[in-house]
Structures are given as C-alpha cells and as structure tokens.
Chains A and B, each alone.
Chain A
Amino acid sequence: MKKEFKVIAELIPKNTRVLDVGCGDGSLMNLLQTEKNIEVRGLELSQENVQACIHKGLPVIQGNAETELHQFPNQSFDYVVLSQTLQAFYNPERVLRELLRIGKSVIISIPNFGYWKVRTKLLFFGTMPVTKTLPNTWYNTPNLHMCTIKDLFYFCDEKDIKIKKVVGVNEDKTSLIKRRNLEIKNLFSKLGIFLIG
C-alpha cells in the first residue's frame, strides 16, 4: 500500500461518505471500505480501471472529472479525495471549486515541484525534471499545471479556501506542514497532502 493512501486514510474518520475522484483501480477505496467502514464512490476515466473496481465490488462511475463532476449534488460527501491529478486538469481551479461544492472537506495530494531534487535537476541540468513521482518527459506528461506545496498553500490563501491540515510525504516519512516550516518542507517533501474546505 502506498504511503500516500495510508496518510489519506488517516485523515478520514470512520463511517463517513467518501468520493474518490480518479480512483484508479480502487486501492484507496478498498482500504477505506475494509478498514474504516467508509461508504465509498469512485469516478474513473479508464475502462480498465473501472473493470478492476467492479471486480472488487467497489461502486465506480466511468467519467471525466474535468467535465462530469456536476452530476454530484452539493455537499453530498463528507470527503472528496483527489490523488495526484489536480495538475493534469485544463482548469484546476474550476475542478477544485467543484470538489469543494461536492464535499464538506476535500483531500488533495500533489507531486511537489518544489522538492529539492526537482529543483536541482532544472538548475544544474537545465532540462525538465524527470523523477520517480514525475516520471514523464516534457512532451508526454499529462501534467499541465505543475505546482509546489507552497504554490497550493498560497492559492488557498488567495481564494479564501480554509486549510485544515497539510502533510508532507517523503518515502515512508511524513511530517506536518505549517506556515512556519513551509520553506523547508517545500524543499524536502516529495508529495503534499492537503485537507481543505
């Protein structure tokens, strides 16, 4: 199980209702359902992943989060999860607004472009960084809007979105990110997990 999913699962209380946007093969949904008795729903684009979810008995709707989130009513879920996809949308702000409309709270994880290895690759090699969390090259990456933990922090401030908790992840280590340690955590976290709304 990915560390990221464990952190996300820890952020969500038992017996709640969760929508996993871009739920993939249903690993996180499965974890939430079996370990925390959470009522899960998934939205997933790929046919193969939808089949995998159906096979596991997980409720999943095949669809595109960029255009089809409107189908979910206001505040119909306790938590909406978006794992490492925000940067791939044409209009991340609109998607984020939709997530906040649907969920009472929203959990977003992002690959951190401010991670020191990413920074040094660009600084010393002068090419777009390719790392474990960012495995694609510039011409085939789905990521249109890369950002750093600090960027998302500032974005929430600017848009009046309440930040409830931020967790930085580096391999198996996790740490709480606050305003006072933002600079250093932005340098040493591979992933940022935001609980907002």
Chain B
Amino acid sequence: MDNKLENIKKLDVSKPLRLDCGKTIENFPLAYETYGKLNANKDNAILVFHALTGDQFVAGTNPITKKEGWWVTAVGPGKAIDTNKYFVICANVIGGCMGSVGPKNINPETKKPYGLDFPVITIKDMVRAQESLLDHLGIKKLLCATGGSMGGMQLLQFCATFPEKTFSAVPIACSSSHSAQNIALNELARQAIMADPVWDNGKYFLKNVQPKNGLAVARMVGHISYLSEKGMQEKFGRKLQEKADYEFSFDADFQVESYLRHQGYAFVERFDANSILYITRAMDYFDLSKQFKGGLVEAFKNQKTKFFIMSFSSDWLYTTRENKDIVIALNASGADVSYSEIITDKGHDSFLLNVPEFLKNLKNFIDTMYEKFKNEKRI
C-alpha cells in the first residue's frame, strides 16, 4: 500500500509549523485530492475536513483502496456538493496514514519511521497544516467548508482560527469539546491497540507487521458507536449468520458479530494503528472554549461566516445537545447561524449515508450560499 502512496497529490509544506505540544515540524508532506474545477473567479471552492478514519479521497474511487470515496453519497457530479459546479478540496490530516506526515513517516533525525516519536498533535495543528494548502491552490476565501464528526471539529477550529477564510460553514454531527463518553470510547480503542503484543510500544513497523487484532477491536468499538440502538436492532436483530441455529461455540453466530468482525478486519488493511492513537488523542484534547478565555462565545466573536449546523436525532456520539451548544454560542456571539436536527435512526453514521433530508439541506444551503457569495464579491 505504501508504494502506491507515491503517486498521490502531495504538497511539501516547507514553512515550519509549531505544534501545540511545543515541537516544530517542517518540510512535511500534506496529501490532498481535489474534485471539479476551480473557476476563474476562484469563488467555487469547498474544503472538506475528514473524520477519524477518513482520508482525502472524498468522492469517486479511492485509488489506494479501490473502494468508493468515503463521502460519495454527498460529493460528486450532480450530488449535493456538485463537482460539476464546485471545486472540492480535501487533505489528509497530519497524524494520518494516507500520505500526510504521520507516525509511519520517516523521522529525518533517525532515518526510521517515527512511531511514538511522532509529536502528539491537536485538531488545531491539523487545521493550521491544511491552511497552507489554500495558499498553494491560490484560494483567498472558500465558498464553504464542511465536515462531519472530527471533520466538524476541525471546521469549528478553522473558523475560530481563520475567521476570514470561508464565506460559509456546515459543521455536521460534531462538538466543540470532546465529551467524557467520547474520550472513554477513544481510550477503549487505544487500549485495544496497545494491548496487542504485536503493537510493541508502537515499534511494530520495524518488523513490518501491524497489530491487526488490536486495531480491529478498536474499529469495532467505533462501529458500535456510529450506529443507534434502534438502527442496529432493525438491521441485525438476533439474526444468525448463515446458520440455522446456535453452534455452541465462539464463532460469529450472530449477524451483528459477523458484521463487526468484517468491519474490524477490513479496516486493518487500510489504516495504521499508531495513527489511530494520534488522531483519537487529538480529538480528546479538542476543547475550543479552553483555547479562548471567556469560552465558546469568545471563540466565535466577530464571525462573518454563515453557519449551518446539522445534527442527527439518533446520534449518541455527538448528540443534538452538543450541536445545539455550538448554535447557542454562535447566537450569543451574534453570528449568522442556521440549525436543523435531522430525524433518523441511522445514528452518527447518518452523515455518510443516503439520508435524503440531510442531503437536501446540504445542497440547498450550499447553492444559496454560492449565489450570495457571488453577489458579495461583485459588490
């Protein structure tokens, strides 16, 4: 897989980036992908921030995994985010494993992969790294920036750190600070990886192996949290996996077990275990109100960006309550904010699925914002 990563788009970020942890990285690769064409006025650019296990391959076919891009439901020709009309950009987060600098990259000092010597990064670090991509592409102001889950968290950070960089923003199913429950679930994922003897304090790459069992369990934890209780019951119930009755063993008797095992072991083919540690840590450290004295209202002070926040009724990972707290803060700071709670049984995963109400909202908002942005630029 790593050999294939040489043929993807990469920006070499030469400008030193001082990380929140105090360390500095420089001359690091930032992998990205774009869809559609940037128009002459450069006013049709949309930046997408990806979630924990996402990557830059939003639409079409992912050239590395040969599977569909992670947001094909929303992005592509004729889709809600129409690539015939808009120029869509997505970068792999730093700390990730799809070409941007991360724990499996070579440490220039030791000439060996970083492993746990890679500095601990934050959501703010990820966002600041991606800002250099906009300069590279010659985009002064985005039409819109969007992202779900950790992508939404990056987006909130992006708006707070660079308030002039986007005309509109659609944070989806996210939070302005990671909740205790979410930190706990991330810790479960990390502990699963670290409990795998193959992990070897993050040095597994020296033996060219991957702590598959631990990483698969980490992914299974994630998958449970992305569904809702009702959705899971309806999808799987107590159905058995291609068998008439219990086998009185510990094989995957139930469909839900089989599903989790499949998701878990498919994941190890495309993701790096240490990256999960780094990215989940970044999520846990995310607390926008802590960064700004005076809290969340202060974070959004003087925002000109037009926000549209969406949450999903059955999402218990990033609840409607947490999303509404962002709306309240934006309201209190006088920002232009819209909000909608989409009623669905599909849980946190809803933003990746074909949920018509959600996709319709996304399309209508972006299309009207495009008209407004064009008018504003004309004036």
Which residue of chain A is the closest to B342 with respect to CB atoms? A47
Least Cβ–Cβ distance between A75 and chain B, in angstroms: 12
Any B CB within 8 A of the CB of A76: yes
A63–B361 touching, CB < 8 Å: no
5 A-B residue contacts at CB 8 Å? A50-B340, A59-B336, A63-B339, A71-B324, A76-B332
Any B CB within 8 A of the CB of A56: yes
**A71: B residues at CB distance < 8 A:** 324, 327-328, 331-332
**A55: B residues at CB distance < 8 A:** 364, 368
B361–A51 touching, CB < 8 Å: yes
B338–A73 touching, CB < 8 Å: no
Any B CB within 8 A of the CB of A167: no
Interface of A, secondary structure class, is mixed
Q: Which 6 A-B pairs have the closest CB atoms?
A: A57-B368, A71-B328, A55-B364, A61-B339, A62-B340, A59-B338
Q: Which residues A61-94 have CB closer than 8 A to chain B?
A: 61-63, 71-73, 76
Any A CB within 8 A of the CB of B343: yes
Any A CB within 8 A of the CB of B63: no
B337–A54 touching, CB < 8 Å: no
Interface string of A26-57 (1 = CB under 8 A from B): 00000000000000010000010011011111
B334–A76 touching, CB < 8 Å: yes
Give chain A's interface residue range (CB within 8 Å of chain B): 10 to 19
Complex CA gap A8/B73 in Å reads 42
Selected from A41, A50, A54, the residue in CB contact (under 8 A) with B368 is A54
A51–B337 touching, CB < 8 Å: no
Which residue of chain B is the closest to A70 with respect to CB atoms? B328
Any A CB within 8 A of the CB of B360: yes
Least Cβ–Cβ distance between A104 and chain B, in angstroms: 15
Complex CA gap A76/B324 in Å reads 18
Q: Which residues B321-379 have CB closer than 8 A to chain A?
A: 324, 327-328, 331-332, 334, 336-343, 357, 360-361, 364-365, 368-369, 371-372
Least Cβ–Cβ distance between A23 and chain B, in angstroms: 11
Complex CA gap A54/B339 in Å reads 9
Any B CB within 8 A of the CB of A149: no
Which residue of chain A is the closest to B336 with respect to CB atoms? A59
A60–B338 touching, CB < 8 Å: yes
Q: Which B residues lie at the A interface, using CB under 8 A?
A: 306, 308, 324, 327-328, 331-332, 334, 336-343, 357, 360-361, 364-365, 368-369, 371-372
Least Cβ–Cβ distance between A177 and chain B, in angstroms: 34
Complex CA gap A42/B41 in Å reads 32
Q: Which A residues lie at the B interface, using CB under 8 A?
A: 41, 47, 50-51, 53-57, 59-63, 71-73, 76
B361–A54 touching, CB < 8 Å: yes
B328–A57 touching, CB < 8 Å: no
Complex CA gap A47/B356 in Å reads 13
B332–A47 touching, CB < 8 Å: no
Which residue of chain A is the closest to B297 with respect to CB atoms? A73
A73–B340 touching, CB < 8 Å: no
B338–A61 touching, CB < 8 Å: yes
Which residue of chain A is the closest to B310 with respect to CB atoms? A62
Complex CA gap A55/B340 in Å reads 13
Selected from A56, A59, A73, the residue in CB contact (under 8 A) with B306 is A59
Complex CA gap A51/B332 in Å reads 23
Least Cβ–Cβ distance between A57 and chain B, in angstroms: 4
Complex CA gap A72/B328 in Å reads 7
Selected from B308, B324, B334, B336, the residue in CB contact (under 8 A) with A54 is B308
A47–B343 touching, CB < 8 Å: yes
Least Cβ–Cβ distance between B242 and chain A, in angstroms: 39
B369–A57 touching, CB < 8 Å: yes
Q: A57 with B340: in contact, given A51-B360, A51-B364, A73-B331 (CB under 8 Å)? A: no
**B342: A residues at CB distance < 8 A:** 47
Least Cβ–Cβ distance between A122 and chain B, in angstroms: 39
Which residue of chain A is the closest to B335 with respect to CB atoms? A59
Which residue of chain A is the closest to B343 with respect to CB atoms? A47
B339–A62 touching, CB < 8 Å: yes
Which residue of chain B is the closest to A50 with respect to CB atoms? B340
Complex CA gap A56/B369 in Å reads 10
